[in-house]
Homo-oligomer: A and B are copies of this chain.
Amino acid sequence: MTSSEFTDNRSLKPPIRRTPSSSSPCAACTVRDLAVCSVLEGDELDQLNAIMIDVNLSKGDYLFHQGDEANLVFNIAAGAMQLSKLLPDGRRQVTGFLFGGDFLGLVSNREYTCSAEAITDVRLCKFRRLDLQNLFRDFPKMETRLLSMARNELAETQDQILMLGRKTSVERVASFLLKLSDRAVTRGESGNPVPLPMGRHGLGDYLGLTTESVSRALTRLKNKQIISDGATKQNILILDRNGLQELTGDL
């Protein structure tokens, strides 16, 4: 394990374009520096590419469902996905949103513990779990990288727990907007206006609120002149970032 793998990469700089050192499609990937693949180069990428299958999803497609046998893992190349868990009576909890560079299937052992739905058109790299496992044997640094990503995911998840357990509806929405903005910056976008690929329903199910409560929280933020509608409802313009930060409850 290199020492850099132990450092915080939650605040990654925008991806740096590399000069293609190989003919594999990976070489041109725009999110490679964010993904597992960032630790591989040249010939190694070719080997990864050999076991990779391209998959395209349309908005609304489910990639897998909670309880499906988890033989496949994925790497998101472009687009956004939503992970959710369902209670038998229909209550739903969205456990996370995934974007380009995110790894999908890390948690699962025997079966997927949640469902994965495309909330935009999505392009992803599919791997048979066993194939990837075999590659780990040759490139242990991939496992190191995956552990590092798991560590970050765990840290994020615990922030979510704090949010769900102790924050008010406005604090939750404020925290979420800032987080989404930061993530957009990580992917090399401006982060303002904040892109909201998910609907209010998905948002509510992520924040532990109803769509109505999300809507009311947003209205209150608008009334306070802290945010405003972007061009569409899928975009929110942050007018007063400091004000928004103060309303997160995190200070």
Q: Which residues of A are at the interface with B, using a C-beta cutoff of 8 A?
A: 1, 3, 6-10, 85, 87-89, 91-93, 95, 106-110, 113-114, 129-130, 133, 136-137, 140, 143-144, 146-147, 150-155, 157-158, 160-162, 164-167, 205-208, 249-251
Contacts and interface: CB of A to CB of B under 8 A. Distances in A.
A152 B250 CA distance: 28
A178 B223 CA distance: 45
Contact of A1 (B10, B107, B137, B162): B137
Contacts of A167: 87
Given A1-B136, A144-B143, A161-B95, A107 B151 contact: yes
A87 B143 contact: no
B8 A164 contact: no
A143 B146 CA distance: 10
16 contacts: A1-B136, A87-B166, A87-B250, A89-B249, A95-B158, A95-B162, A106-B151, A106-B154, A109-B152, A109-B155, A113-B158, A136-B144, A150-B154, A154-B154, A157-B161, A164-B164
Contact of A161 (B9, B143, B150, B161): B161
A123 to B, nearest CB: 25
Nearest to A144: B143
A133 B158 CA distance: 24
A114 to B, nearest CB: 7
Contacts of A153: 154
Given A85-B162, A110-B7, A91 B249 contact: yes
Contacts of A140: 140, 143
A44 B218 CA distance: 56
Given A6-B129, A129-B6, A249-B89, A107 B154 contact: yes
A2 to B, nearest CB: 9
Given A3-B133, A133-B1, A143-B1, A251 B88 contact: yes
A9 B107 CA distance: 12
